[in-house]
Amino acid sequence: MKAEDLKYIVKEKYGVIAHQSKLQNETSCCGAGGCASVDYTIFSESYEKLKGYNSDADLGLGCGIPTQFAGIREGDSVLDLGSGAGNDCFVARAIVGETGHVTGIDFTDAMLEKANKNCEKLGFKNVEFVQGDIEEMPLVENTYDVVVSNCVLNLVPDKQKAFSEIMRVLKPGGSFCVSDVVIKGALPDNLRKDAEMYAGCVSGAIEMDEYLEIINHQGFKQVTIHKLKEIEMPADILKNYLNDSEIEQFRNKETGIFSITVSAKK
């Protein structure tokens, strides 16, 4: 499948997800009903006790809490990639305070509309949401102290471009922290090829060593893995894609799906 086709699938699916509640997203497969896929309850972590948490902005779509390890400070300028309804942006805003600034970028119209409505209700003047493709961000270079992202970069077809863009927009000495989905070993082909799984976070994921190599290749330093959590795939989900023999092979190999939270400095 071509990169533009994959982007179209992701944009269409997340346009649907934007109009659903957190409960709907967590009780259907990856936020979209009617598909045979992995549901987000396997990935998401609770934000509810975090300062700045806003329930209207929480669609239950993350696979970690990157703001916890991002080293955000009061007064910082922060960029959130794939900002959705604004969940991580509002948590970051609670840290940067009145003197900082938070920007969210997303390419789904419905998500941007939801985020802007949430921001307007909260009355924040130092949080903004812009439309753009993470591979070619319409943002000025050397602008941000910190870049965060939560379960989004695995959906980007060209991850080299994505991390290159992160490098470009970060200030010298700035850092990023992302939570994402990676795999270890060879994911079976019929899992990888399924477009619903791609839009649902799994098949867009790449091998962990390759993921870390991309970060290093872009020139980032002090690459640190803060959290690595294996995603236990239930047998009834695997049965949608694999026969009994293939499931046994999948379980016995050093193969799996993981959520990872990693940071690095420019």
For 96, half-sphere exposure in the C-beta direction (CA atoms, 13 angstrom radius) is: 27
DSSP readout, 29-40?
GGG-TT--S--G
88 pLDDT above the threshold of 80? yes
- Higher confidence at residue 185 or residue 166? 166
Measure the CA–CA gap between 199 and 97, rounded to whole angstroms.
Answer: 34
247, 188 contact by CB (below 8 A): no
89 pLDDT above the threshold of 80? yes
The strand order across the sheet containing 256-265 reads 127-131, 101-106, 77-81, 144-150, 170-184, 256-265, 221-231
Q: What is the pLDDT of residues 131-158, one digit of tens each?
A: 999 999 999 999 999 999 998 998 888 9
Q: 């190599």: which residue's tokens?
A: 213
Confidence of residue 21 (pLDDT cuts 50, 70, 90): low
Q: What is the pLDDT of residues 212-227, one digit of tens each?
A: 999 999 999 999 999 9
Structure tokens at 245: 């023999």
133, 107 contact by CB (below 8 A): yes
Where is 211: in which H helix or E strand? helix 208-217
Question: How far from each other are the two terminal CA atoms of the chain, in whole angstroms?
Answer: 33
- Determine the average pLDDT of the residues in 77-83: 97
Name the nearest CA neighbour of 60 among 90, 34, 30, 82: 30
Name the nearest CA neighbour of 112 among 57, 54, 154: 57
How many CB atoms are closer than 10 A to CB 37? 25
pLDDT of residue 24: 55
CATH class of 3-265: alpha beta
Q: Which of 11-25, 47-61, 68-82 has the lowest mean pLDDT?
A: 11-25
- Higher confidence at residue 238 or residue 179? 179
Where is 216: in which H helix or E strand? helix 208-217
pLDDT of residue 185: 82
